[in-house]
Amino acid sequence: MAEKHPISICIITKDESSLLKQCLECLFPHAQHGGHEIVVVDTGSTDDTIKMCREYTDSVYEFTWINDFSAARNYAADHAANDWILCIDSDEFITKWNEENLQDQIARYSKAIGGFSLYSTCGTGHNQYLSKSQIYRLYNRNYFHFERPIHEQITPFDAALGHPCFSLDIEADHFSYAGSAEELAAKSQRNIKLLKEELQKNPHDPYVLFQLGQSYYMIDDFETALHYYDLGLSEDVDPRLGYVNTMVVSYGYTLLNLKQYRKSLDLEGIYDTFGNRADFVFLMGMIYLNNGFLDDAVAQFQKATTFEDAEVVGANSFRAWHNLGVIYECAGHTKEAEKYYKKCGDFPPAIERLKALRA
């Protein structure tokens, strides 16, 4: 029989009792079934977080907040009973957990970082959308720890080890970026403060510049977001990195939000580098659409649907088909428009257009 590898599932939290309870409700059956430990580190809650957590685990600790997420995560790992650590946030709800796959991957990759699929609800109101990302949170504390005070990253103690990664058959829903404009603004301002402190130490760090851009984008301050994306992309960045691809796409949408349509066409110059991902191809479709190049937009939206995966859910399927429907409808080709709207399934904007066409 293969050796069992129990893990410690570590959560840091503050004043999120209701969210954390949902998180623990989703997590507890999998932890119990797999013989895994749950560790909760509270960073200064004034609600009933600590009392509530003790219903699910005895491993509840308090940590004095020092404006450093990595310090809190490393504190949790230091108090864990097991060497393998899986970090979950209190606003992440496990929807799929394959224990057999988890054990197989840990046995196979003893000195690597494990990632799982995170589906994040982003934006508000009609602008709300779902994004999918691979987030790396499983590691062995003998070889890795967290660095950076915000948007913390798992980093090897020995740089020669690098960042080898593997994927887990685990999925979670994430609701941190949904909510009211006030809630998003408060979260962004907290992040901006910490990121600017980090930028003072490392003024040419493209990842910090990227995250500053994302924080300002979240609160619709597109001018400032563009400033930080420009700075980040002016550094020597590796186009193979996921955050670099996201920064390029965010930069493009920032230009569109600022109605700098002609400038957005400059992204044609990096198509050969980034055109192997659905999200960039979909963005180019939007850029051509906003510049009135309809044939080029159609070609890009059609190409986007040929990709197996996308970061923004639907960029490689129903969102692209909906835009194709809109283009054909505006051109007076209603039969072709209906065809694409039908392919969108239950996507509300497509359903509305089908109803309008049939009225």
Locate 214 and state its tokens: 């994302």
Query: Of 322, 355, 356, which Cα lies nearest the Cα of 339?
Result: 322
Residues of the chain with CATH 3.90.550.10: 7-174
Q: For residues 141-156, give the mean pLDDT.
A: 95
Kindly report, residue by residue over 49-99, the tens digit of the pLDDT: 999 999 999 999 999 999 999 999 999 999 999 999 999 999 999 999 999
**For the residues 241-269, what does the mean pLDDT come to?**
97
Superfamily of domain 7-174: Spore Coat Polysaccharide Biosynthesis Protein SpsA; Chain A (3.90.550.10)
Into which CATH architecture does domain 181-358 fall?
A: Alpha Horseshoe (1.25)
Is the pLDDT reported for residue 178 higher than 70?
no
Q: What number is the average pLDDT over the span 305-317?
A: 96
- What span, in angstroms and rounded, lies between the C-alpha atoms of 206 and 247? 10
- Nearest residue to 167 (alpha-carbon basis) of 114, 123, 213: 114
Q: What is the mean pLDDT of residues 29-37?
A: 97
- Average pLDDT along the chain: 94
pTM score: 0.89
**Among 227, 205, 105, 193, which residue's Cα sits nearest to residue 153?**
205
The encoded tokens of residue 165 equal 């990664």
pLDDT for res 123: 66
Model pLDDT, residue 1 = 39
**Are 245 and 315 within 8 A, CB to CB?**
no
Count CB atoms within 10 A of the CB of residue 107: 12
Dist. CA 192–CA 194, nearest whole Å: 6
CA distance 120 to 311: 10
Q: Are 94 and 170 in contact (CB under 8 A)?
A: yes
Q: Over 90: is that where the pLDDT of 185 sits?
A: no
Does position 288 have pLDDT exceeding 70, yes or no? yes
CATH 1.25.40.10 residue ranges of the chain are 181-358
Give the whole-number percent of the chain exceeding pLDDT 70: 96
pLDDT at 176: 67
pLDDT category at 3 given cuts 50, 70, 90 is confident
